[in-house]
Structure 1
Amino acid sequence: MRAIASATRLVEHFAAQQVHPCYAVNEPRVGIDAPVERIRGRCFWWKLRAISATGPGFLGYGHYAATTLGDSVVDTRWAIFGTGGISAKFVSGLRHAKGAKPNLVVSRSADSGRRFAQAFGIPEVAEGYDSVTAASPFDVAYIATPPSEHARHAIACIEAGKAVLIEKPFASSVAEARRIADAARAQGVFCMEAMWTRFNPAARRLRDLVREGAVGEVRQAHGAFCFTNEPDAANTSFDPQRGGGALAQLGVYPISLLHWLFGAPEDVAAFGRTGDTGVEEDAAISLRFAGGVVATVNTSLRALGDNGLRIGGTHGSVAFEGPIFRPYGVRLQRMTPRRKGGDTGLGRKALLREQGLPQKLSQLHGLLTRSGKVERQLFAGNGYHYQVEEVGRCLAAGLKESPEMTLDDSIAVMETMDTVRERIGGQR
């Protein structure tokens, strides 16, 4: 049984990883530059990830429903804007979504578009992002071009009457985010940011536990998304002209999730480091929300972090099991608030606790066990399809925005990110 449990945890671990263990040393780990051939095809761990959570009941674990509008969806044909690694992951997930199919690849280069379409069996290819018209063979566009191009490409689709799902970050600035939102509302077209983690079963379970008061009054929160990469101006993550930087590529995850949980912050403070290519490579952020919740966010393109999300309250804490971008469970730890006084530290038990042997046993116990109750919330497929199904449900309900990821929320997240950039300035 121990061997089975260990194998289960191993599969779960690799099922949740966005950074594959079969990356070459010099290949980019984050952003839209992740190599397509490493995401699909010969990589052994890709096959494990594909089967790791194929449906409810696999390995005996259930799923927490990630729905807010019921199960009805409309059939949709999707156009994929951009042929980078994030698009490959999205299309792989799209195949798990009810009623959705990829029908068109739109790329700057016809050759790149054809290679991508052939890899995924997509029937149509269009060269040039300005080629979209009302007659183009798709219903929803997935915009996965660099952040600097999101507004231009999204608005072109919106003006053609096409619904859009825009990869995070929603835009490269709050001004561009407002332009996209204004265009969608003026045209009466559905528009949503692709913050896929909000629709992940584990994320939704964590939010419900917080709302139910499982940790008491929330006082603190912490989120981090940090990876170490070699600086490379050819990589979008390090190119300021294409919307790079730790905030846009990684920090948007914890910032958006904290917005989702607590609303927009009332105050923002930040310190960071700007790299030689002109993007912020590291940032430490403090946020204060209505009601007194204080939060910290760490993000980095140059340093590895804990890459988790934890919410702390007066009666315990709840945290993601697995990385912040693709959690597969939650860990709930409860604690009754301690009362002041009572233990002077001079009692027999108190003195005994401070001796060498009890402390050594405590350390060993801490190394071998972790406190709290774990709820496994395995995602199906690679997890990207939950946001696709949200689009289908919203369209079926006649909505122009998702109640889980509104346009105002995307604008507020961009406003927070712009404020952080202002605070950091040219800090090095």
Structure 2
Amino acid sequence: MVFSRSQKEHGGGLTLNIGTYTVQLVSLLMGGVRPISIHTGGILNDNGVDIAASSTLVYPESRVVTICMSATCTLPGEALIVGSKGNIKVNFPMWCPESMETPSGRFSVTLPSHGLAFNVPNAQGFIYEAEEVRKCFSQGLKESPLMPLDESIVIAEIMENIRRQIGVSYAQDDR
């Protein structure tokens, strides 16, 4: 984890720093609905921010999701989706993958290349998010049809629930 993200006064914490990528993928898979329950355990550093966490989210129709995040060890950075019709493996880096493996085979995409260096693997893939924002602005839209406000709120609520269960608190929580 980047040093500034390990400091509470800088808004540090694993869940709010990189956890959004795992929670957004879960939301995509679950259709943007709220989980019935969330059960989380985690570890705080000496500054009171989370550095490791595991959460189980229970959804309607007996669907269960487990997510793991850590700044204390190297996790594979992949997503494994297990279902009744087979498994899908979203390869590293799952936040912007170039390939995934499904029961029908391996699917790959080529990310745009422009010769710039980034501090995060496949960060050039975020161009698609920026392009969607540009498109929405140019069309006068207040929200993206690909990521509606309601789903963004569900993602934020899940992340807040997770960090509070771990024990991360910020001064603004009391306001």
Which structure has the larger Rg over C-alpha atoms? 1
> Matched residues in 1 for 2:146 and 2:4: separation?
28
* Stretches of structure 2 lacking an aligned partner (at least 5 in a row): 114-123, 169-175
Give the secondary structure class of the aligned counterpart of 1:384: helix
Distance 2:71 2:91 in 1: 22
Aligned to 1:374: 106
Whole-Å Cα distance in 2 between the matches of residues 378 and 321 of structure 1? 14
Matched, 1:258 2:26: yes
Identity, in percent, stands at 29
- Could you tell me whether the CA contact under 8 Å between 1:328 and 1:376 is conserved in 2? yes
TM-score normalised over the length of structure 2: 0.81
Letter in 2 for 1:311: I
Superimposed CA distance per residue, residues 246-267 of structure 1 (whole angstroms, 9 cap, x where no aligned partner): 1011211101111122123221
Q: Report matched runs for 1:147-186 at 5 Å.
A: none
Cα distance between partner residues in 1 of 2:75 and 2:92: 13
Q: Who is 1:311 aligned against?
A: 81
Q: 1:248 to 1:394 in 2, by over 3 A?
A: same
How far has the Cα of 1:393 moved from its partner?
A: 2.1
Contact 1:329 1:374 in 2 (8 A): yes
Does residue 289 of the first structure (1) align with residue 59 of the second (2)? yes
- The runs of 4+ residues in structure 1 deviating greater than 6 Å are none
Distance 2:72 2:103 in 1: 31
CA distance in 2, matches of 1:404, 1:290: 23
Amino acid at match of 2:110: L
- Counterpart CA distance in 2 for 1:310 and 1:408 is 26
Does residue 320 in structure 1 map to residue 52 in structure 2? Answer: no
The partner residue of 2:5 within 234, 237, 246 is 237
Choose between structure 1 and 2: higher helix proportion. Answer: 1
Q: Is 1:404 paired with 2:146?
A: yes
Q: What are the Cα deviations for residues 351-410 of structure 1, in whole angstroms up to 9, with x where unaligned? A: xxxxxxxxxxxxxxxxxxxxxx21111221321211121122223333110112222222
The answer as to 2:14 corresponding to 1:246 is yes
For 2:137 and 2:51, the matched residues in 1 are separated by 38
Contact 2:100–2:106 (CA under 8 A) maintained in structure 1: yes
In structure 2, the CA distance between the partners of 1:397 and 1:292, relative to structure 1 (3 Å rule), is: farther
Q: Does the 8 Å contact 1:259/1:265 carry over to 2?
A: no
Aligned length: 156
Give me the whole-angstrom Cα distance separating, in 1, the residues matched to 2:102 and 2:149: 31
**Relative contact order: is structure 1 or structure 2 higher (C-alpha 8 Å, sep ≥ 6)?**
2
TM-score normalized with structure 1 length: 0.35
Contact in 2 for aligned 1:250/1:300 (Cα 8 Å): no
Summarize deviations over 1:70-126 as a string: whole Å, max 9, x none.
Answer: xxxxxxxxxxxxxxxxxxxxxxxxxxxxxxxxxxxxxxxxxxxxxxxxxxxxxxxxx
Task: Looking at secondary structure, tell me which structure has more strand per residue.
Answer: 2
Q: Distance in 1 between matches of 2:130 and 2:167?
A: 36
Aligned position for 1:392 = 134
Aligned 8 A contact 2:76 2:92 in 1: no
Alignment partners' CA distance in 2, 1:383 and 1:423: 32
Whole-angstrom distance in 2 between the partners of 1:413 and 1:271: 18
Counterpart for residue 301 of structure 1: 71
Q: Which one of the candidate residues 410, 416, 419 is aligned to 2:158?
A: 416
- Matched-pair contact (CA < 8 Å) for 1:245–1:301: no
Task: State the match for 1:330 in structure 2.
Answer: 100
SS at match of 1:395: helix
